[in-house]
Amino acid sequence: MPQALEGSQAIARAVALCRPQVVSAYPITPQTHIVENIAKLVADGQLECEYVSVESEHSAASVVLGAAAAGSRAYTASASQGILLMSEVLYDISGLRVPMVLTCANRALSGPISIWNDQSDSMAVRDAGWIQLYCTSNQEAVDTHIQAFRIAQETELPVMVCMDGFTLTHTMEPLDLPTQEEVDAFLPPFRFDRMLDPQAPVSIGTMVGPEAYSELRYANHHDLLGAADNILRANADWAEASGRDWGGLLRTSGPAEARIGLLGLGSLIGTLQDAALAHPELPPTRIMALRAFRPFPIEALQAACEGLDELVVIERAFSPGFGAIVAAEVRAALSELPQAPRVHAVAVGLGGRDIGLSLYPRLIEVAHGEHAERFRILDLDPERLPQELRA
């Protein structure tokens, strides 16, 4: 029975249903409502956990690392500058193979300062060794958080659940929250085999010399690639329990005869879907929601692009001095195919600029361009550019 909930509120409840024993966070817009809601659940006795209000994001990530290593299910949330500040710890957590879940309420990075939504924060730490899952809606975010706790402890890899700040976190919509029984049936009690215990002492985080480092890093890479199976299974099992299937690694919609693909991550997918319906006069499109960015689903992407002539990748971040981030990886994945679509890369909605239905016809235009679009920020306003940049 769906109830009207603000995204952040629903996430807080979903996390609480997963019975974390330690939650630690430092406030940063637009994650604040999530951690405030969790604090309220604790204060009202609805969630029994140790809630540690730390003095910085670096410490938030460190607290959950210490807690998980000591054998407790742990959770934190952050965004933007907080993700950057804790990035050192994020690399350490995955390197040490300690499981936990973190919500990234996607927000642009300073400088200049922006509190609004884009995905430059989670993209900045794409190499931190975490599983990264992107949610297109608040319902998907609720379900994905629950799946994330299971994926993390199965793989002994930390999971970052990405959801667009404000667009999802601060939106109220009808949402279905599972019951405690449903979550308990899906998520086994937390277990970490290397748990710190005086009865069986181990040392975690020792120095590793050149003679052993490569092998340890390869093992992590191998296991992160293998996490694709855990992601698929968690999605399938939860789909059976809840009736909601989010596609596992990648989800496509649109008619089979479509020759143009539109690929994106996060909340813009919903707007693209309604835009396609609003433009029956334009050629049909295959809309692809990339759910798992790490591990990058190379095979699934290759299969999903079957039959496409054009693929427009719509980025919510970019790499200054080069251009595309997601499209660069998409191009690499598709280059293995004998018959691959032309890949176009555009970025939109940087720093929270609204992504309207009017974007859709422009994406079709890009797809029909004479040359493959290497990279372009599609929604630049020429009036706001200095004269010399108005090409």
Partner 1 sequence: MTAETISLAELRKHQPRFTGLSPGHRACQGCGELLAARLVTEAAGPDVVVANSTGCLEVTTTSWPDSAWRVPWLHSLFENGAAIASGMEAALKAQGRASKVLAFAGDGGTFDIGFQALSGMIERGHNVLFVCYDNEAYMNTGVQRSGSTPVGAATTTSPAGKERLGKRHLKKDILSIIAAHHMPYAATATVAYPADLRHKVRRAIEVEGPTFLLVHSPCPQGWGHDGSRTVEVARLGVQSGLVPLIELERGAVTGVMPIRELRPVADYLKAQARFRHLFADTAEAARELQHLQALAEHNIERYGLSAPGPEPRDTEGADTVRRGGQHWA
Partner 2 sequence: MIEVRIHGRGGQGNVAASYLLAGTAIDQGWHALAFPAFGAERRGAPVAAFVRMDRSPFSRRDQIAHPDYLIVQDEALLHDAATLAGLKPGGGVLVNSPRTPTELGLDVKAYSLPANALAEKHLGRPVPNTALLAAFITLTGLLPLEALSHELGQRFKGAVLDKNRTLIAAAAEAVEADIWNQEVAHAAGA
For β-strands 74-78 and 159-164, DSSP reports them as unpaired
* 153 interacts with partner 1 by CB under 8 A: no
Q: Give the list of residues 6+ apart from residue 358 with CB closer than 8 angstroms, or none.
A: none
Q: What is the DSSP string of 20-79?
A: -SEEEE---TTTHHHHHHHHHHHHTTSS-SEEEE-SSHHHHHHHHHHHHHTT--EEEEE-
How many CA atoms within 13 Å lie on the side-chain side of 377?
18
Single out the residue of 50, 173, 176, 237 in contact with partner 2 (rule: CB under 8 A). Answer: 173
HEC profile of 143-195: HHHHHHHHHHHHHCCCEEEEEECCCCCCCEEEECCCCHHHHHHHCCCCCCCCC
Helix (H, G, I), strand (E, B) or coil at 4: strand
Give the nearest distance from C-beta 99 to partner 1 in angstroms: 13
Q: Residue 166 interacts with partner 2 (CB under 8 A)?
A: yes
Residue 8 is a binding residue for partner 1 (CB under 8 A): no
Name the segment binding partner 1 (CB under 8 A); options: 68-76, 134-142, 181-189, 260-268. Answer: 68-76
Residue 277 binds to partner 1 (criterion: CB under 8 A): no
56 forms part of the interface with partner 1 (CB under 8 A): yes
Q: How many residues bind partner 1 (CB under 8 A)?
A: 45
Residue 67 near partner 1 by CB under 8 A: yes
Q: Is residue 203 left, alpha or beta, with left meaning phi > 0 and alpha meaning psi from -120 to 50?
A: beta
349 CB contacts (<8 Å, ≥6 apart)?
A: 117, 118, 268, 316, 355, 379
Amino acid (1-letter code) at residue 232:
L
Q: Which residue's CB is nearer to partner 2, number 123 or number 168?
A: 168
By CB under 8 A, tell whether 64 contacts partner 1. yes
Footprint of partner 1 on 181-210 (CB under 8 A) = 196-198, 200-209
Q: Give least dist CB 274 to partner 2, A.
A: 4
Closer Cβ to partner 2, 83 or 355, answer by number: 355
Question: Between residue 35 and residue 74, which ones bind partner 2 under the rule CB under 8 A?
Answer: none
CB 69 within 8 A of CB 204: yes
Q: Which of positions 191-210 make contact with partner 2 (CB under 8 A)?
A: none
Selection from 308, 323, 233 nearest residue 263 by Cα: 308
18 binds, among partner 1, partner 2, none (CB under 5 to 8 A by kind): none
**According to the binding rule CB under 8 A, does residue 42 interact with partner 1?**
no
The CB-of-112 to partner 2 minimum distance in angstroms stands at 12
Distance CA 11, CA 35 (A): 9
Residue 283 identity (one-letter amino acid): P
Binding mask 340-359 for partner 1 (x = CB under 8 A): --------------------
Site membership for partner 1, residue 21 (CB under 8 A): yes
User: Is residue 282 part of the contact set for partner 2 (CB under 8 A)?
Assistant: no
Q: Which stretch binds partner 1 (CB under 8 A): 87-95, 153-161, 314-322, 328-336?
A: 87-95
Closest contact distance (angstroms) between CB of 33 and partner 1 is: 23
Q: Structure tokens of 9?
A: 């509120």
Q: What would the x/- binding string for partner 2 be over residues 99 to 138, using CB under 8 A?
A: ----------------x---------------------x-
Q: How far apart are CA 12 and CA 145, in angstroms?
A: 10
Distance CA 302, CA 338 (A): 11
Q: Which is nearer to partner 2, 120 or 230 (CB)?
A: 120
Segment contacting partner 1 (CB under 8 A): 44-52, 151-159, 256-264, 359-367?
44-52
**289 Cβ contact partners less than 8 Å away, ≥ 6 residues apart:** 134, 136, 247, 250, 251, 252, 253, 264, 265, 269
> Should residue 357 be labelled a site residue for partner 2 when binding is judged by CB under 8 A?
yes
Q: Which residues here bind partner 2, judged by CB under 8 A?
A: 2-4, 6, 29, 115, 137, 166-168, 170-174, 267-271, 273-275, 354-357
Q: Which residues here bind partner 1, judged by CB under 8 A?
A: 21-22, 24, 48-50, 52-56, 58-60, 62-72, 74, 88-89, 92, 96, 196-198, 200-209, 212, 216
